[in-house]
Amino acid sequence: MSPAPFEYAPAPESRAVVDIASSYGLFIDGEFVDGNGPAFKTVNPATEEVLADISEASAEDVDRAVAAARRAYTKVWSKTSGKDRAKYLFRIARLVQERSRELAVLETLDNGKPIKESRDVDIPLVAAYFFYYAGWADKLSHAGFGPDPKPLGVAAQVIPWNFPLLMLAWKIAPALAAGNTVVLKPAETTPLTALLFADICRQADLPPGVVNIVTGAGEAGRALVEHPDVDKIAFTGSTAVGKAIARSAAGTRKRLTLELGGKAANIVFDDAPIDQTVEGIVSGIFFNQGHVCCAGSRLLVQESVADEVVERLKRRLTTLRLGDPMDKNTDIGAINSAEQLARIRALTDVGDTEGAQRWTAPCDLPAHGFWFAPTVFTNVTQSHRIAREEIFGPVLSVLTFRTPDEAVAKANNTPYGLSAGVWTEKGSLILRMASELRAGVVWANTFNQFDPTSPFGGYKESGFGREGGRHGLAAYLDVA
């Protein structure tokens, strides 16, 4: 007789820890003000429940925000010592830690990612990035850019919906540490944690205008990056929008850093530590529902172990728990929006048409909300669209190779170059691959690890500029 299955009872995190207002304004010059555009709604992608009405910033609102940032830069922040800027950043970091549960719950409600990830990954990293850059604020003269490097001025920052608060931290922490003021636009589907962050700025007594948050969709973003009085544009998002921004900034004095899409190769050699490799493949592509620009979406596996790796991977995927993101045992949450779900479906349908073999993890999808089960495509070739285009969802394309040369050639054969992974027990092979792969980050025997001390950024159409580490300061200093 087979033993009874061990069914985990629901273990939901309480949503009572956070108060969500029925409507939110823009955060300009230290105050919440109504926007002049039509309000839009932000929904919980796991239930399609409306969470709040959000103000859409018009061009005039953006202008006011940039003017506030300019005023704060000229009158206050550029005259604030590094030591005092550090004081504010440390304060913010501590407040993020104190309010971490609230932030995690809000992030999960608005984004759809599992509470396990917002609680254990996103929010702790947010605090870590603020702590890290707080430490640099009074040491810029020792950062390797010469004595007393100067800030740029007003930074326009536009961030995506996949790691809403973490991307905010990657943008705001180095900008403020270097002495800039910012106007930040969160993605239209995930504005809530940025608005809670605005409250944290007030709680930290950050001078008004140093951080401004404007909400809205593409038009608000365009108004912000095309505003003539911004000195710096930092954008994380799709390559198509990144290219449009680069065109609009061409011929202006604006500095630009872009962190765009990716189609990372996760390369598995036959001597890889197989169980940990399978875990790395899973976290590489199924972490955050695959909504990760550096996701290991192309698995390149050495032919001699391909069948075994794929078989073990599928077995592991059957244990993934998809469902209510607020449940502490959920591994795979909701797709962030109907639009993104449609894009994932369209591209995977192309995978079928092109002749790749689809395998879907057996799991029940909830009746409401936006969901896509973990999916693996085998028999994928280099010419398939699912091997070339960024799907930005829980979909893995498996390709094989025979020699390290072939692995490098296939891995580099993409317009992107954000990240890559190498799995082998042979140290010399890791070093060789790291030097030959055209990717900004190469992980060895791990994947999707982030740390504030480590620079992150892309080659080719994955963008330019680095975020994180000492290198991340350069993007906000007048040192290029």
Partner 1 sequence: MNRTSTAVLADAGGRGDVTESDASLRRFLHGLPGVDKVGADARAAALSTRSIKTTAKAYAIDLAISMIDLTTLEGADTPGKVRTLCAKAVHPDPTDPGVPATAAVCVYNDLVGLAKADLGSSGVKVAAVATAFPSGRASLAVKLTDTRDAVAAGADEIDMVIDRGAFLSGRYLQVLDEIAAIKAACGVAHLKVILETGELATYDNVRRASWLAMLAGADFIKTSTGKVSPAATLPVTLVMLEACRDWRDSTGATVGMKPAGGIRTTKDAMRYLVLVNETVGTDWLTPDLFRLGASSLLNDLLLQRHKLATGRYSGPDYVTVD
Positions annotated as catalytic residues are 259, 293
Provide, rounded to whole angstroms, the least separation between the CB of residue 13 and partner 1: 9
Give the DSSP letter of residue 151.
Answer: B
CA distances to 32, 85, 88, 202, 426 from 76, in Å: 20, 11, 13, 16, 54
Binding of residue 329 to partner 1 (CB under 8 A): yes
Burial class of 312 by CB neighbour count within 10 A (0 to 12, 13 to 18, 19+): middle
Sign of the torsion angle spanned by Cα atoms 22, 28, 33, 34: negative
Binding of residue 362 to partner 1 (CB under 8 A): no
CB of 279 or CB of 406, closer to partner 1: 279
Number of residues that bind partner 1 (CB under 8 A): 27
Binding of residue 273 to partner 1 (CB under 8 A): yes
Binding of residue 116 to partner 1 (CB under 8 A): yes
Binding of residue 275 to partner 1 (CB under 8 A): yes
Binding of residue 279 to partner 1 (CB under 8 A): yes
One residue of 238, 248, 382, 446 binding partner 1 per CB under 8 A: 446
One residue of 92, 103, 272, 332 binding partner 1 per CB under 8 A: 272
CB of 276 or CB of 353, closer to partner 1: 276
Binding of residue 328 to partner 1 (CB under 8 A): yes
One residue of 49, 98, 271, 339 binding partner 1 per CB under 8 A: 271
CA distances to 317, 382, 392 from 353, in Å: 24, 15, 19
One residue of 141, 252, 276, 403 binding partner 1 per CB under 8 A: 276
Nearest to 190 by CA among 162, 158, 157: 162
What x/- string results for residues 158 through 197 when contact with partner 1 is judged by CB under 8 A?
A: ----------------------------------------
> Rounded distance, CA 145 to CA 171, Å?
20
Phi, psi torsion values for 149, nearest 5 degrees: -65, 145
Q: Do residues 298 and 437 touch, judged by C-beta distance below 8 A?
A: no
Q: Do residues 121 and 128 touch, judged by C-beta distance below 8 A?
A: no
192-203 vs 82-98: helix axis angle to the nearest 10? 120
Provide, rounded to whole angstroms, the least separation between the CB of residue 304 and partner 1: 12
Provide, rounded to whole angstroms, the least separation between the CB of residue 425 and partner 1: 5
SS3 31: strand
Binding of residue 16 to partner 1 (CB under 8 A): no
Binding of residue 14 to partner 1 (CB under 8 A): no
Binding of residue 6 to partner 1 (CB under 8 A): yes
Provide, rounded to whole angstroms, the least separation between the CB of residue 445 and partner 1: 5
SS3 1: coil
Binding of residue 454 to partner 1 (CB under 8 A): no
Of residues 413 through 432, those in contact with partner 1 by CB under 8 A are 425
Q: Do residues 196 and 103 touch, judged by C-beta distance below 8 A?
A: yes
CB of 270 or CB of 389, closer to partner 1: 270
CB of 59 or CB of 274, closer to partner 1: 274
Tell me the HSE value of 104 on the side-chain side, using a 13 A CA sphere: 24
> Rounded distance, CA 236 to CA 56, Å?
20
Binding of residue 11 to partner 1 (CB under 8 A): yes
Residues forming the site for partner 1 (CB under 8 A): 2-11, 116, 120, 271-277, 279-280, 319, 328-329, 425, 445-446
